[in-house]
């Protein structure tokens, strides 16, 4: 019976010592690993990928940084960045900029057109939410913190621009409560 289902041995290096340990896999199927990149122009959705059986998914690694911790070495990286919102400005086309700061360092979160088209919420509704957020930040003294999964391009420390391509990549902290997404933040503010 053992000849019909041979075991595969895989060597795994450990970092603490030079010894190798064996991992035994008795599966007949080879392991499939799919790396998921945050590409807004992708032709395959995560829902389609999840329907397949026996597939492991790996998303991109996001480095967690406060705005004051961002350096030139973080250029062209996936970052999870947090800071206090100072201002929200909307452009005429589908683009917005959220200015935030943390411990004296400022950053601009750019919300490009793909941000507005990546969700089931209409573009006008997202613009209305951002306008309301901008008005609230100007008038009210309560701090709102943003925590965004974003991408950096070439970083200039004097003026940091980070790009948020997905609507779902935004979280906020308002009155010591974390809200998932812009819609939940607006509900909490009202």
Query: Each residue's pLDDT tens digit in the chain (190 positions)?
Result: 444 445 555 555 555 555 555 555 555 655 555 555 555 445 555 556 555 555 655 666 888 999 999 999 999 999 999 999 999 999 988 899 999 999 999 999 999 998 998 888 899 999 999 999 999 999 987 899 999 999 999 999 999 999 999 888 899 998 888 888 888 898 888 8
All domains of the chain, ordered by start, with CATH?
63-189 (2.40.50)
Return d(Cα 161, Cα 98) in angstroms, integer. Answer: 10
| Signed CA dihedral, 80, 81, 85, 91: sign only | negative
Please identify which residue in the block is written with the tokens 């200015």: 99
- Extended beta strands in 3-143, E state: 8-13, 20-25, 32-35, 55-58, 63-66, 78-90, 96-102, 105-111
- Scored b (16 or more CB within 10 A) or e, 31-48 reads eeeeeeeeeeeeeeeeee
Helices (H) and strands (E) in the chain — how many of each? 4, 12
Side-chain-side CA neighbours of residue 177 (13 Å)? 10
């Amino acid at each position: 019976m053992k000849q019909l289902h041979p075991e595969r041995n895989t060597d795994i290096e450990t970092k603490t010592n030079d010894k190798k340990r064996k991992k035994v896999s008795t599966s007949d199927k080879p392991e499939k690993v799919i790396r998921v990149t945050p590409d807004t122009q992708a032709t395959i959705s995560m829902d389609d990928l999840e329907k397949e059986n026996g597939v492991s998914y790996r998303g991109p690694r996001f480095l967690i940084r406060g705005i004051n911790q961002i350096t030139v070495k973080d250029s062209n990286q996936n970052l999870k960045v947090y800071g206090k919102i100072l201002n929200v400005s909307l452009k005429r086309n589908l683009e917005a900029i959220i200015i935030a700061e943390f411990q004296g360092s400022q950053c601009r979160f750019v919300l490009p057109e793909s941000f507005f088209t990546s969700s089931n919420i209409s573009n006008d509704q997202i613009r209305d939410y951002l306008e309301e957020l901008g008005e609230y930040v100007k008038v009210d003294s309560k701090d709102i913190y943003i925590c965004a999964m974003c991408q950096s391009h070439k970083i200039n420390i004097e003026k940091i621009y980070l790009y948020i391509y997905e609507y779902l990549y935004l979280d906020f902290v308002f009155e010591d409560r974390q809200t998932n997404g812009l819609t939940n933040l607006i509900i909490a503010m009202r």
